[in-house]
Structure 1
Amino acid sequence: MDISLQNAIITELHNLIDYSCESHNEESVDYGSLHRALIKKYFEAESVVIDRGQHKVLLEICTDKEINEISCRDVDVDFNNFNQFLKSCIDEKHASMRFYRNMLRYYHVVEPISA
């Protein structure tokens, strides 16, 4: 994937985050699922609970301590500005671009883009 396409995906994802953090009472789109997916991918979390009122995100993160034993921990992450927090969760590596491109398609931001 070339750099200009990668930059376009990141720019559109930033625009989608901006839009999704605004109040849209008339729409039935669940932007909470977008927010959880971005955070879940970035932190490699099993689950994500967002408490915007308390400015916190609760993550369940599991790691392999030993073979056949999985250890899970709850982790609180504080944020001041939810919009900026979400943007900081964008991984600009090539491997993440397909995931982000699919998100943009799901939310009808871009036409399908060939790989």
Structure 2
Amino acid sequence: MRKSSLRTKILKEIENLVTGSTKAKVRRKYERLHVAILKNHYNAASVSIDYHRNRVEMDIIVDDNAYDPRKVNTQIPTLYANILFKNLNEFLKSCLDNDSKSLAIYARLLKSFKNNEATYTIA
């Protein structure tokens, strides 16, 4: 039961952070959060968000088996994608996953943003 409530709490907190981060005046501050969510969901190597044109450009890794951590990986097969979205908040929330790996990433993101906000308020 505790594990389930922790999952729910992490998902609620990341959804709240996404909702607050998609307001027009604070988007640039949270671009790193948006990119991390998209990279995790789409298994993308690179992500670029154009907030004015409502576009996301990314290189999605097609085959994870081609990756070898013992050498420089210059020939990983990727697929270029150019995605349009109407509402950034809804788009990012649709990219939130509920698996254990994703929840660990979201927990680290939440921790880093709480630490950064504490730093900003002290200074």
TM-score by length of 2: 0.75
Within the candidate set 47, 72, 76, 1:70 is matched to 76
1:3-59 Cα shifts (integer Å, max 9, x gaps): 11100100000100011112446xxx8300110010011000000011122211001
Number of matched residues? 106
TM-aligned CA deviation for residue 76 of structure 1: 1.0
Greater fraction strand: 1
Matched, 1:30 2:58: no
1:98 to 104, 111, 114: 104
Secondary structure of 1:90's match?
A: coil
Could you tell me the TM-score, scaled by structure 1's length?
0.80
Say which structure is richer in helix: 2
Q: Does 1:49 align with 2:48?
A: yes
Question: What runs of 5+ residues in structure 2 fail to find an aligned partner?
Answer: 68-74, 116-123
Unpaired runs of 5+ residues, structure 1, are 110-115
Q: CA deviation at 1:73?
A: 2.2
The letter for the 2-side match of 1:19 is: G
Letter in 1 for 2:16: N
RMSD between aligned alpha carbons? 2.4
Partner AA of 2:30 in structure 1: Y
